[in-house]
Amino acid sequence: MIARSSAMKIPAVILAAGASKRLGHPKQLIEIQGEPLLHRVARIALQACDPVLVVLGFEGERMQTALGDLQVQCVRNLDWEEGMASSLRAAVSAMPQAARAAIFLVCDQPALDPALLERMLRLHQEHPGRRIACGYSGIRGIPALLPCKDFDALLQLRGDRGAKNLLASEDVLEILFPGGEQDLDLPEDLVRLRDR
């Protein structure tokens, strides 16, 4: 595990405010081996990052209860129905002022493990100031590490838009994330997860 000195704390942001409309029920609370997905990603993030911010919106009280035993900072996104941009704005607004970068995560990537985040942090140490994205199924996506120079751009986002444009730039460093394409957006995704 990476040593987290006070000089190199990198926050993690878990974007978990959505209502999972296509799935039909909150994906954040789906359990893998008895552990809700939201709790799982927060537990993993805590092994590599400090602090861990969890952006909540839909059924925020239930989500916060699912995180009860973890030392995370819950950030309420009152505009969660707007979409992803509102969660990114809420996260950046709650970020520690001294943060030089942040890792952005979602809760529905069952293949996520601490080793991936540690690889991202090592690459960040070698190339401070660079964007880092995970590569899977021919795309770049999250988890992604964005340097603080991008925070203002995130604050300008509106609607159901994330940081896709930032991750598409030529200077992005890419880390392979086998299984990163496995997510839970539709009922059949949940069936496949349970079959595995």
Each residue's pLDDT tens digit, 62-86: 999 999 899 999 999 999 999 999 9
Q: Up-side HSE of residue 67: CA atoms within 13 Å toward CB?
A: 27
Q: Scanning the structure block, which residue is given the tokens 């838009």?
A: 161
pTM over 0.95? The answer is: no
* 1 occurs within a structural domain: no
| Cα–Cα dist 39/47, whole Å | 13
Judge whether 127 lies within some domain: yes
Predicted pLDDT of residue 53:
98
> Number of structural domains, the chain?
1
Any domain includes 180: yes
- 106 belongs to a structural domain: yes
Question: Is the pLDDT higher at 117 or at 1?
Answer: 117
Quick count: other Cβ atoms within 10 Å of Cβ 47? 17
Q: Is 96 domain-assigned?
A: yes
Whether residue 59 is contained in a domain is answered as: yes
pLDDT-based confidence at residue 134 (cuts at 50, 70, 90): very high
Alpha helices in 82-113 (DSSP H): 84-94
- Domain enclosing residue 171, as ranges: 6-195
The CATH number of residue 131's host domain is 3.90.550.10
Q: Are 80 and 8 in contact (CB under 8 A)?
A: no
